[in-house]
Structure 1
């Protein structure tokens, strides 16, 4: 059934007799409906996307080892291939975040995975470093679109009681996909000359599954309402949530739209907060874990597989713990306290002598556990902080800023290690976390108990 026919059916007298809806004042708000099968389906489609994305990013490190045996790669070409996905995410987040606010959520929700699927399979046929870089860049463009619209569409359908849990779970699923890629890459990455082709192209299998399952996803009723399409919005609410659920919200018009709207007086603090806190979290995350073997070697903790395995386990455990903390703690408290713990752990780590092995492991574990846990909030705050007409733009801009920061941090960390040394470099990362804490103290809103309209200041 099309949306127009669904809307007409919902508005017709016969439909109202069948549905027998309660008066509007007695209906349950969309923010307060119990979780149903539709919520689970939308969550599954977004979670599956993040599993695919974590897997696709995780495969490249092991594929490069096999690839270099077939194609002679210069250091710049290796860096180009390795960083192309992050660059793609930067551009994809900005482009599709804006498009999602113009043409709707469901279109980008589908098209982003068409790009990811085709580019993932396309890696198998790459013959040069430039061709592989292009495929990885396109995967990143699709991921950027999915990051901006996936968080947005799930936030706009989710009840407030479970919104933090659902949005925060992205981090867990992404980490699981990344770890699966590590296990497969470690086991099969060099099993044959063409192993890199199969390893990279294997990301296309879950991408294709998610793409097919996304066909038929309805438009966000909140987006429809923001565009003045109230009848269509109410028809979708009726179809998926029943006749006794109402859609709260109002149609607003502004002189500014798109990214310029994010920097108007009523939103600029939200915009700066989300871009800055997100960036301050991911710079240490990507910088340290991209060069984890090097850092462990400098710290004298690279003997055997034990420390590396333990820290990867901490990433997964921390991500799961973060879901529970997102439920139990106020958003502000969780974020500010995590910034303080991670900054202190890194600062102490920089001060310890190399002989303090046990203390170093404990501090590094505390840093990893806490950083992984608080990373759940990068899926929560941006989606909750912006009004419907620019929600995808706001999420997309925050994602783009974070990926630009993570790319810069990843690039400069080995340079800083070589020129300044280990301790000063770790102190710089600690200072970045302190900056994130100060930004959060000044600007982080508390959105946990609010409806989506209230959280966005509507």
Structure 2
């Protein structure tokens, strides 16, 4: 059945009704609400890079100890991403999103009280559990509400909040961390804010309509769709009617003039949804895209976290003062924002795959420039280029990842890719000290450049999903 409204012909399936809507106040509210959580996530990850630089001075921590502090968080993120994706497909996107904010917010605040390297490592692991689970869940939630024609742009806009959060972390690092021997503790204490925001998320954001339908919760799904339609300015008469007593919604309304559905069929319960399994990602239909996606996630995580977690420490080790190294990091971080903006434009013009590959090749070139940079000005410019291309690539990667899987496996597929990527983010901080000892900063960033090239080759193996409806 279709109905004609001010916006033209509209299918009566709920997902098609959502896909036909323009960008509304509810979409904006969802994007800002999810984006705030994303920014808190980035702030926490970014803060640890400044904490490491100060601990090297105040606690006289060795490079190996600093590596384990950073990697402990990524071990937690690897587990959290996989578990969070599975939970999102079982209990809901919104519920898991709120839970992850609560976990890593409380753990970050508690880590400010750490009394030793060992205790800080334990708290960073717990923080990572929440951080890792949140990112794939948030991108899945936004992608399932976004109309196909702007879905990539919305997900990249969500990813852009990462730059906001990392910039806040850089400001805290620049202003708070150097304030005294306990500056790093005050910085981590500020990272407890997501725990408070979890309450806002739990009460304010909608649950995915696709998830609700898969679970047979049709009344809730219908209410959510009508909430978005009302936000678009559709009047009640524009919305297809609900058959009285059905409790389901427009998917069950008969077309005008069609014979009534048999009573038995109308009353038939939805089949029980099949529980998502990781092995389903390797079915003949999905295994090629899963393999290519995992390669991209692995390589991008290795190069990104290897470079940016250590950046303030590397600049300090090169002879800069702690404050100046933090200032350079702040300026380099600001280059992330235009990278996201350009990526958001190109994913809907070029497509996800070419945008992702182009930004990864740009990041490879920038890493090569960083390897040969000889002056502070050259280091700053190369760092800004690396920040621009690397974070633009992240935006395109988060746009394409949820689009590759059907609704039943979307959280699982996104979470497992992020979880596999976290394996590389665990190894990257540990690999930096030995690589620097072997060949200094030039060898380190030459390795990052090569890894970005491998990521670009993997991106070219992914299917293009620009403008297509999400698979059910």
TM-score of the superposed pair, with normalisation by structure 2: 0.79
Following TM superposition, by how much is the alpha carbon of 1:88 offset from its aligned partner in structure 2, in angstroms? 1.2
Q: In structure 1, how many angstroms separate the alpha carbons of the residues matched to 2:295 and 2:114?
A: 37
Q: In structure 2, how many angstroms separate the alpha carbons of the residues matched to 1:240 and 1:183?
A: 37
Q: In structure 2, how many angstroms separate the alpha carbons of the residues matched to 1:312 and 1:212?
A: 28
Structure 2 stretches lacking a partner, 5+ long: 1-8, 231-235, 241-248, 252-269
Q: What residue number does 2:334 align with? A: 313
Q: What residue number does 1:396 align with? A: 415
303-312 or 402-411, larger mean C-alpha shift:
303-312
Would you say 1:374 and 2:393 are equivalent positions? yes
User: For 1:452, what is the secondary structure of its paired residue?
Assistant: coil
Q: What residue number does 2:457 align with? A: 438
Matches within 5 A, 1:339-418: 339-347=360-368, 354=374, 365-418=384-437
Following TM superposition, by how much is the alpha carbon of 1:70 offset from its aligned partner in structure 2, in angstroms? 7.2
Q: What residue number does 1:449 align with? A: 467
Q: What residue number does 2:76 align with? A: 88
339-348 or 132-141, larger mean C-alpha shift:
339-348
Q: In structure 2, how many angstroms separate the alpha carbons of the residues matched to 1:439 and 1:36?
A: 35
Q: What per-residue deviation string (whole Å, max 9, x for no partner) do you get for residues 335-363 of structure 1?
A: 2222333334444665x5858x8777655
Q: In structure 2, how many angstroms separate the alpha carbons of the residues matched to 1:269 and 1:253?
A: 28
239-248 or 100-109, larger mean C-alpha shift:
239-248
Matches within 5 A, 1:129-144: 129-144=117-132
Q: What per-residue deviation string (whole Å, max 9, x for no partner) do you get for residues 78-103 of structure 1?
A: 33322222111111111111111112
| Residues 54 and 178, structure 1, Cα contact 8 Å, conserved in 2 | yes
Matches within 5 A, 1:203-282: 203-215=191-203, 217-242=205-230, 244=239, 257-282=276-301
| Residues 101 and 197, structure 2, Cα contact 8 Å, conserved in 1 | no
Following TM superposition, by how much is the alpha carbon of 1:141 offset from its aligned partner in structure 2, in angstroms? 0.8
Instruction: Pick closer, same or farther for the CA change 1:119–1:256 going to 2, 3 Å.
Output: closer
Instruction: Pick closer, same or farther for the CA change 1:217–1:295 going to 2, 3 Å.
Output: closer
Q: In structure 2, how many angstroms separate the alpha carbons of the residues matched to 1:111 and 1:345?
A: 37
Instruction: Pick closer, same or farther for the CA change 1:150–1:436 going to 2, 3 Å.
Output: same
Instruction: Pick closer, same or farther for the CA change 1:63–1:362 going to 2, 3 Å.
Output: closer
Q: What per-residue deviation string (whole Å, max 9, x for no partner) do you get for residues 293-339 of structure 1?
A: 56668999999668655433323332333223334321122122223
Q: What residue number does 1:14 align with? A: none
| Residues 274 and 382, structure 1, Cα contact 8 Å, conserved in 2 | yes
| Residues 119 and 138, structure 1, Cα contact 8 Å, conserved in 2 | yes
Q: What residue number does 2:159 align with? A: 171
Q: What residue number does 1:53 align with? A: 41
Q: In structure 2, how many angstroms separate the alpha carbons of the residues matched to 1:424 and 1:119?
A: 36
**Equivalent position to 1:199, from 183, 187, 191:** 187
**Alpha carbon RMSD of aligned pairs, Å?**
3.5
| Residues 66 and 196, structure 1, Cα contact 8 Å, conserved in 2 | yes
| Residues 37 and 197, structure 2, Cα contact 8 Å, conserved in 1 | no
Q: In structure 2, how many angstroms separate the alpha carbons of the residues matched to 1:132 and 1:411?
A: 17
TM-score of the superposed pair, with normalisation by structure 1: 0.81
User: For 2:125, what is the secondary structure of its paired residue?
Assistant: helix
Matches within 5 A, 1:48-197: 48-64=36-52, 73=61, 75-197=63-185
Structure 1 stretches lacking a partner, 5+ long: 1-21
Instruction: Pick closer, same or farther for the CA change 1:216–1:183 going to 2, 3 Å.
Output: closer
Q: What residue number does 2:267 align with? A: none
Instruction: Pick closer, same or farther for the CA change 1:42–1:23 going to 2, 3 Å.
Output: closer
Q: In structure 2, how many angstroms separate the alpha carbons of the residues matched to 1:94 and 1:133?
A: 21
| Residues 66 and 194, structure 1, Cα contact 8 Å, conserved in 2 | no
Q: What per-residue deviation string (whole Å, max 9, x for no partner) do you get for residues 339-395 of structure 1?
A: 333334444665x5858x877765554443222222211221111111111111111
Instruction: Pick closer, same or farther for the CA change 1:124–1:346 going to 2, 3 Å.
Output: closer
